[in-house]
Amino acid sequence: MSGLVDLIFFSEKRKGILILLAEGPKSAEEIKNELHGDTLSITPQLKKLKDMDIIVQREDTYELSDIGKIIVKKMLPLTELLQVFEDNSDYWSKHDRRPIPEHLINKMHMLGKCKVDEPDLEHLFEFPKDLKEIVFRSGRLRTFYSFFCPECPAIQATCAKNGAKMDLVMDEKVYGRLKNDFKDTHRLLLENNVSLYIYRGEIKPSSFMVTDEFVMLKLFGKEGEFDHRKLMSFNKSAIEWGDELADYYIGLSEKIN
């Protein structure tokens, strides 16, 4: 079995071939182009996978064998999970992961390829302009805030006017700021049937946002310190994961309206 593990995981090219063939049969030329390789680098890897009966060749087309399909089905979540943690190991290791419920820890592979976005000092307290454009064209917005974001009431008001379906979950103090200091926005949100929730739990993320196109997650540091950096993913499966996270916190919150 160790030989099979070595065969698959100790070669990025072989692993890439299997992930590619999970989409369906491919010709040698298609495999070469997709993996940005050449005949000399790809052909030996195809032969090794054939010899282990993980893939089969039909003329110039390659596809997963029945065993290969089982292996890749189990391999993909692990590969995706490793990518989530390896690409951003510094962020995950230094932040409090407790706000992510266990059932979503078990689905972390759904986040896929993430990136850590770190604002420059000149725009530290500003909502990123490129993300704002995506939020404004989104048909829905689901957010959680345990700190007050100065720009957020204006962004939320614009989304409400645009007819977006919105779930806004807030720490009690954050909701108090919105209600007392931004009365016009608060009234606008209520008039546009935006769902407002108060979360009173002690274990909580710094913030998260789910739209049609991305999920954004901010965690506090392990000592509870605030960090402006955020994890971003634009994968479809990541958005599904974000929706489950939103459902989880909505289920623990009090609906205001």
Predicted local distance difference test score (pLDDT) of residue 1 = 44
Residue with tokens 């409090």: 96
CA 147, distance to chain mean position in Å, is 21
Mean pLDDT by 10-residue block, N- to C-terminus, for the chain (257 residues)?
61 87 93 87 91 91 93 82 81 94 93 85 74 94 94 93 96 95 94 94 96 96 92 95 98 94
Kindly report, residue by residue over 157-211, the tens digit of the pLDDT.
999 999 999 999 999 999 999 999 999 999 999 999 899 999 999 999 999 999 9
Quick one: the chain helix, strand, coil %, rounded to 5? 50, 20, 30
Distant-in-sequence contacts of 6-12, Cβ < 8 A, 24+ apart: 7/48, 7/49, 7/52, 7/54, 8/54, 8/71, 8/75, 11/45
- DSSP assignment of 181-249 equals H-HHHHHHHHHTT-EEEEE--SS--SEEEE-SS-EEEE--BTTS-----EEEE--HHHHHHHHHHHHHH
Q: How far apart are CA 255 and CA 195, in angstroms?
A: 7
162-191 in b/e form (b: 16+ CB < 10 A) is eebebbbbbbeebbebbbeebeebbebbee
Kindly report, residue by residue over 225-240, the tens digit of the pLDDT.
999 999 999 999 999 9
Predicted local distance difference test score (pLDDT) of residue 257 = 84
Strand order in the sheet with 26-27: 26-27, 61-64, 55-58
Predicted local distance difference test score (pLDDT) of residue 164 = 95
SS3 73: helix
Q: How far apart are CA 204 and CA 177, in angstroms?
A: 18
CA 47, distance to chain mean position in Å, is 35
Q: How many helices (H) and strands (E) does the chain have?
A: 12, 11
Exposed, middle or buried: residue 105 (CB in 10 Å: 0-12, 13-18, 19+)?
exposed
